[in-house]
Amino acid sequence: MQAVRFHTHGGCEVLKLEEIPDPQIAPNEVLVRIKACALNHLDLWLRKGLPGVKVPLPHIPGCDISGEVAAVGKLCTRVQVGDPVVISPGRSCGQCLRCLEGRDNLCASYQIIGGYGLCGGYAELISVPEVNILGLPKDLDFVQAAALPITFLTAWNMLVTLGNVQHGQTVLVMGAGSGVGVAAIQIAKLFGASVIAAAGTDEKLAKARALGADHGINYQKQTVAQEVKQLTAHRGVDIIFEHVGGETWKELIPILAPGGTLVTCGATSGPIAETDIRYLFMRQIRIQGAHMGSKADLMAILPLVEAGKLKPVVDQVLPLSEAAQAHRLLEDRRQFGKVVLTI
């Protein structure tokens, strides 16, 4: 099969389209012929290399995958050859207490397909456990389906499972033009919250409003804290949906309303953040970390997608051979929603 791999860490030029052996399946696994794979910032971090994190090389990136079942192991009973599917991106042991509680994303052996230890979807074929196979939502094509899993799963975990978003609350979505930001806008509106979207261009803010955002802040031209205070009559926001990291916390923590929550899943601009802990105890606010979400969360999301209540947003579609260009698009933050490779 053909696959895009990198043999060493570096720039986009290290991504190479190569011919490699087809994957083999275990008795409990399914072979999927990949039709589309969406990009995530994790793909960029893995390609560049992270201090203290060892990635087995060569590596095939790609976590968000859709396709058709090509073969099934002899122990598989739920799926059949030819089924159109989307792959749940998290693999866990399935036997520990956290897995059995439905919190498989907290399993000690949890891994992301296409992540640090498992090869992913920049390829024609992939083998995954049958438990990771979910039916393709009706009326969705493979490209749209590939734009779903990680972003909507993460945003759901952040806002619903951990943030406990409620009707009438105000949610500030940082990086509203990203894949996870686009999902967060829709989920917050689904639960009846008011959404303030923050993005770096007026074009992205216009698209965020079209998705349902009530207000927009261009952080290249405006000060987020000042605008939030004005929009909320100095009350602040109930939830800050954050995945930027770095210097943003210093500005964001003070604009949380009493009892509010900052929930974060990333550190795109840097992992070190400054926090004035007096705000934490004086206002009883909470800082909550989030990592992916459970398979049960994804199963709750897919019917909402089928019903048209949540919609994947695709910015650009490129062939697998242009994976390097897809990485450049994501690095430059030019996209609104997802960049997807077709195989």
Please give the model's pTM, rounded to 2 decimal places.
0.94
Residue type, 215: H
Per-residue pLDDT, 248? 83
List domains and CATH numbers for the chain.
Answer: 2-148+312-342 (3.90.180.10), 152-289 (3.90.180.10)
Burial 143-162 (b: 16+ CB within 10 A, else e): bbbbbbbbbbbbbbbbbbbb
Burial 240-272 (b: 16+ CB within 10 A, else e): bbbbbbeebbeebbbbbbeebbbbbbbbbeeee
Q: pLDDT for 47-87, tens place per residue?
A: 999 888 889 999 999 999 999 999 999 999 999 999 999 99
The answer to whether the beta carbons of residues 150 and 65 sit under 8 Å apart is no
Q: pLDDT for 199-234, tens place per residue?
A: 999 999 999 999 999 999 999 999 999 999 999 999
> Which residue stretches of the chain have pLDDT < 70?
none
Per-residue pLDDT, 249? 87
Per-residue pLDDT, 96? 97
